Amino acid sequence: MPPTASHHGAKSKAELDDLGGLIEKEHLPAGRADLPEPLVAHSQRERILIAMADACAAKGFGATTIADICKPAGVSRATFYELFEDKEDCLQASMELSLADTMGRIVEIYSPDKPWATMVRDAVATFLDLLANRPQFARMALIEAPAAGGRSYEMYASGKRVLQALLDRGRNDPIEEQAIPSSAARGALAAAESLVVGQILAGNAERLPELLPDIVYIVTVPYLGQDEALRQSREAEKSRLPGAS
Amino acid sequence: MPQAKRTERWRPPRGRHGLPPEVVARSQRERLLEATMRVVAEKGYAATTVADLTKQAGISRTTFYELFADKEACFLAAYDNVVDALVRRVSAAYETEERWPERARAGLATLLEALAAHPAQARLAFVDVASAGPAAQRRFRAGVQRLTPFLDEGRDFAPNGRSLPANTSRMAAGAVVGLISDELLAGRADGLPNLLSDVLFATLVAYLGPDAAAREVGEESR
């Protein structure tokens, strides 16, 4: 068995500093991102996006029809087609919203001066809160978009690349001499994602924040080693206890 | 490795053949599940119709609806079939070794080789299932969980096993499946066996940490 792709050392500094560049290229929100809160149906467009997310949660994107979306949204077919080209376009709009939100928050959390482990913990906590607050959109972004292919899939994949780059900054920390495979960030993220998606599909999206200690462990262990990752996980657990400062 | 040419599946003779009805039904069901795998791999789940399936399987529409309520039920049965077969093979390979890291390596190597040898099944079980609606997505997550009993043994092997998070095996299973799905989405089914060191690291790192995981992967790949 040839040792494929396994023994890359630390990534080059230029590659790691690309994180800022990656985010810049993604869809950022126009203004400053507010604290996570359920999306309010201010406009027909938002009502349609909410109705589509609900319909997809019940039937899946493939089986959802325009009628399934229009009826609960209280809009006519004509209005739907004024705002969106088709169902795929509507899914893309929903993805753009989710991606902009997520990236906006990552930009807020991200700072080159912050310890990497703190940044990762903050990012995971924020991400879980965001998903728990908008369960239908969590479903669209993590389940329907990757399955739909096309532009929606590309947006999902680009969001994931940003998170991978964020994790791979951990390669600058003490164990950089270790032989961590280049796929470590993808593997760690897939592990976290699988747990999150399982929880959403089981209808427990509101309990996602409880997964914080487990996810902090799995995404930091390749970079920090087991003892330190377990310590970070316990810290994350403490930060979740009521009354913790 | 050159693929053996597909041999036609046995079909009962037409007309009055005197075969017991349950034998006929079983053969029809198998043909239908096989056909489902091939058609869905070719057209995708959404575009597949019951007519495509009956045509490919050489059965009537009436027979189809005697066997399954709808396309979704038939697809889920095909999915279960694929996963059952994969779990059997992984389990057999896993049992050939003693030490847990080697058991994991043997199981994962067999999984990757089986998927590379049957790309249509691999796509159905890892890619198509994700786009086949909520019931299929839930079944997929349940399928991923079938890897966890093999992984849970890592907790007994790991020196820190008792302090590991409760969801360690679910997360490690998710890492394995995620890395495999990425490869299949990129159209690289035949290269899956090359992924062994990556999926093995992703599994072992969750239980043993990066140093021990890298050491085990290095030793295994020699």
Interval A205-221: pLDDT, tens: 999 999 999 999 999 99
- In this structure, which amino acid lies at residue B173? A
Residue-level pLDDT at B16: 63
Percent of chain B with pLDDT over 70: 91
Q: State both tokens at A233.
A: 């996980």
Compute the average pLDDT of residues B14-29: 75
The position carrying tokens 């077969």 is B85
pLDDT at residue B155 in the model: 96
Q: What is the DSSP letter of B58?
A: T
The residue type found at A2 is P
Among A125, A134, A133, smallest CA distance to A57 is for A134
| Closest of A165, A98, A177, A189 to residue A136, by C-alpha | A98
**Interface test with chain A among B205, B208, B219, B222, by most A beta carbons within 10 Å:** B205
Q: Give A30 to chain B, closest Cα distance, Å.
A: 32
Q: What percent of chain A has pLDDT over 70?
A: 78
Smallest CA-to-CA distance from A104 within A136, A134, A126 is with A126
A229 vs B contacts (CB less than 8 Å) = 209
pLDDT for residue B124 is more than 70 = yes
R_g over Cα of chain B: 20
Helix locations, chain B, DSSP H? 21-43, 50-57, 61-67, 71-94, 100-117, 119-126, 134-145, 148-157, 168-185, 196-220
pLDDT grade for B154, boundaries at 50, 70 and 90: very high
Question: pLDDT confidence of A30, banded at 50, 70, 90?
Answer: very low
Contact B218 A3 (CB under 8 A): yes
H helix count then E strand count, chain A: 13, 0
Q: What pLDDT is stored for residue A171 in this prediction?
A: 83
Tell me which residue in A5, A180, A192 faces B210 most closely, judged by beta carbons. A180
Cα B36 to Cα A24, A81, A155, B132, distances in angstroms:
44, 35, 30, 13
In this complex, the residue of B164, B198, B210 whose CB is nearest that of residue A178 is B210
Answer whether B214 sits within 8 Å of A193, measured CB to CB: no
Interface test with A, best of B171, B179, B197, B211 (most A CBs within 10 A): B171
Q: Is A58 on the interface with B (CB under 8 A)?
A: yes
Q: Say what the pLDDT of residue B11 is.
A: 64
**Higher confidence at residue B21 or residue A125?**
A125
Question: What is the pLDDT confidence band of residue A198, given thresholds at 50, 70 and 90?
Answer: very high
Given a contact cutoff of 8 angstroms between Cβ atoms, the answer to whether A158 and A145 are in contact is no
User: What would the mean pLDDT of B174-198 be, rounded to a whole number?
Assistant: 94
Residue ranges of A 144-163 with Cβ closer than 8 A to chain B = 146-149
Taken in order of first residue, the domains within chain B and their CATH numbers are: 21-71 (1.10.10.60), 73-220 (1.10.357)
d(CA B47, CA B212): 47
Provide the shortest C-alpha distance from residue B108 to chain A (in Å): 14
CB–CB of A198 and B182 under 8 A? no
Smallest CA–CA distance, residue A72 to chain B, in Å, is: 20
- Chain B residues in contact with A62 by the CB 8 A cut-off are 45-46, 131-133
Tell whether A209 is within 8 A of chain B (Cβ): no
Quote the pLDDT of residue B132: 87
Is residue B77 scored above 50 in pLDDT?
A: yes
The CA distance from B202 to the nearest CA of chain A, in Å, is 6
- pTM, full prediction: 0.84
- Looking at every residue in chain A, the average pLDDT score rounds to 81
Q: pLDDT band at residue B139, thresholds of 50, 70 and 90?
A: very high
Q: Which of A97-106, B110-119, B156-165, B169-178 has the lowest mean pLDDT?
A: A97-106
* Residue A15: both structure tokens together: 């590659």
pLDDT given at position A105: 87
> Which of A1, A68, A223, A224 is most worth mutating to test chain B (most B CB atoms within 10 A of its CB)?
A1
Confidence of residue A187 (pLDDT cuts 50, 70, 90): very high
Q: Which amino acid is at A110?
A: Y
* A1-25 tens-digit pLDDT: 333 333 333 333 444 344 555 554 4
Helices (H), A6-144: 13-16, 18-25, 44-59, 66-73, 77-83, 87-109, 116-133, 135-139
Phi-psi domain of A14 (left: phi exceeds 0; alpha: psi -120 through 50; beta: other):
alpha
Residue A114 DSSP label: S
Where do the domains of chain A lie, and which CATH numbers do they carry? 13-30+87-240 (1.10.357)
Nearest CA in chain B to A196: B171
**Averaged over B96-101, what is the pLDDT?**
97
pLDDT exceeds cutoff 50 at B6: no
Q: Residue A244 gets which letter from DSSP? A: -
Name, of A31-35, B11-15, B86-90, B181-185, the range with top average pLDDT. B86-90
B109 or A53, greater pLDDT: B109
pLDDT tens digits, B158-177:
999 999 999 999 999 999 99
C-alpha radius of gyration, chain A, whole number: 19
- Angstrom CA distances, B189 to A62, A85, B113, B192, stand at 25, 34, 10, 5
